[in-house]
Amino acid sequence: MFLLINIFGIFVFLAITVLVSKNRKAIRWSSIIKCLVLNLFIAWFMLSFPIGKQIVMWIAQGFTWLVNQAYEGIGFALPSMVHVPQMDFFISALMPILLVVPLFDILTYIGFLPFVIKWLGKALSYLTGQPKFESFFAIEMMFLGNTEALAVSRFQIVKMKAVRNVTLAMMSMSCITASIVGAYIKMMPGNYILSAIPLNILNAIIITNILNPVTVPPEEDVVYSLGESDGKSAKEPFFSFLGDSILGAGKLILIIAANVIAFVALAATIDHMLQLIHPIISLENIFGVCMFPFASLLGFDPAQAFQMAQFMGMKLVTNEFVVMGLVTNHITTYPVHFAGVLTVFLTSFANFSTLGMIIGCLKGILNKEQNDMISKNVLRMFYSGIFVSLMSAAIAGLFLW
């Protein structure tokens, strides 16, 4: 019965998205169906097919190995904090970013990632029938992150119509970056984390193209080179580039740590204030009530659905690291369906702070008219992030029982 509810939930999420679409008549259903079929195949291959499960396990082991290499550097500077029975969140999950981010930046510098992104984007466009740049951007986000992808592609973005930039803003609510996967895998099951990444890409395409359907003429359906600028092709010296990358990784760690500390502290403060009104009132219970209808459609009994809804709501208001920190010591005790659905839902940047980051990033790239159109679609941006996560969790949940 719960599997049928899970299947029904996918259609409900799509139906609600159609209801709030800006132009229902312009939705290209053939492309949507192709994306959905491809999504189901990827979920089945990565979560149920033996070879797919083995590949995912190998990749997860690769990220674990990479994190362990990072501990060598961390241990040199902070030997008393590494390889101890209980490493702090800051050391175990965040400090490895100092290796992973520069490594991905180096792969970009030497041209490897741009090559992979270009051809994966072309393949995705061919398979799904989506415009070339939107497909390219989806893959770009997977490797570089949302604001980084926007910045790298800024010279193409400024030449695009404002309505297409709205699609990019919506898509930017749904990704994670590969450079942060190592941190996630230290806290949650790696196979579910890695499975969520391609599901989010395809569901971002599905949801945004229902919410904001755009027809792109052939002459506008082009992709410039990754990082192409206004004619200047000189490459920054490698060690100068590497130094900036390491500095950027350090800033990212501090930003994540500051957000986690602030959000947890604020949530605790608000909880204590709410409990002055009544002991049963808490942020978790409020989140649970708001998200309960959606969690119920993911194939849970009412008690599990309410617990899932609490985690989902907290993630949307704070960020994924806050919830991962709360459940990391218990995730292996949860039923497979619950653990998988929760992990996939958490594996995205969909929250209020990401909304601010994207709007701020685009303000530095686009003109006032284009920014005004994006500002008018803020609610659809947040909706996109939520429903991409719900769709990914629901599709993954079909194969996790």
DSSP codes joined into one string, 146-170: HHHHHHHTHHHHTTS-HHHHHHHHH
Cα distances (Å, whole numbers) of residue 391 to 56, 109, 130, 263, 324:
20, 34, 19, 26, 20
**Rounded distance, CA 326 to CA 96, Å?**
20
Tell me the residue range of the domain where 239 lies: 2-397
Q: Are 134 and 168 in contact (CB under 8 A)?
A: yes
Q: Are 63 and 197 in contact (CB under 8 A)?
A: no
The whole-model pTM stands at 0.82
Q: What pLDDT does 41 receive?
A: 93
**Rounded distance, CA 93 to CA 184, Å?**
7
**Rounded distance, CA 129 to CA 91, Å?**
44
**335-346 average pLDDT score:** 94
What percentage of the chain has pLDDT greater than the value 70?
A: 95
| 224, pLDDT greater than 70 | no
**Rounded distance, CA 221 to CA 206, Å?**
18
- pLDDT 10s digits, 68-94: 888 888 888 888 877 776 667 677 767
Q: What pLDDT does 86 receive?
A: 65
State the amino acid at position 140 in one-letter form: E
| 232, pLDDT greater than 50 | no
**Rounded distance, CA 130 to CA 215, Å?**
10
Cα 156–358–240 angle (5° rounding)? 70
How many of the other CB atoms lie within 10 Å of CB of 81? 16
| 231, pLDDT greater than 50 | no
Q: What pLDDT does 10 receive?
A: 94
C-alpha closest to that of 175 among 157, 153, 150: 150
- Sign of the torsion formed by the C-alpha atoms of 306, 310, 315 and 317: positive
**Rounded distance, CA 283 to CA 261, Å?**
17
Q: Are 149 and 326 in contact (CB under 8 A)?
A: no
Both structure tokens of 384: 């996109």
Task: Choose between 20 and 64: higher pLDDT.
Answer: 20
Task: Tell me what the pLDDT averaged over the chain comes to.
Answer: 83
Contacts of 233 (CB under 8 A, 6+ apart): none
- pLDDT 10s digits, 235-281: 678 888 888 888 888 887 887 777 777 777 887 888 888 888 888 88
Q: What pLDDT does 356 receive?
A: 76
- pLDDT category, 395, cuts 50, 70, 90? very high
Q: What pLDDT does 352 receive?
A: 77
Domain count, the chain: 1
Q: Are 122 and 132 in contact (CB under 8 A)?
A: yes
Q: Are 182 and 66 in contact (CB under 8 A)?
A: yes
Both structure tokens of 164: 């297409």
Write the DSSP symbol of residue 180.
G
- pLDDT category, 369, cuts 50, 70, 90? confident
- pLDDT 10s digits, 164-221: 888 888 888 887 777 678 778 888 888 899 889 889 989 998 999 899 888 888 777 7
Q: What is the maximum span of the chain, computed from C-alpha positions, in angstroms?
A: 63
Both structure tokens of 257: 């740590």
Residue 246 exposed, middle or buried by CB count within 10 Å (0-12, 13-18, 19+): middle
Least confident segment among 14-23, 228-237, 267-276, 337-346: 228-237
**Rounded distance, CA 294 to CA 114, Å?**
37
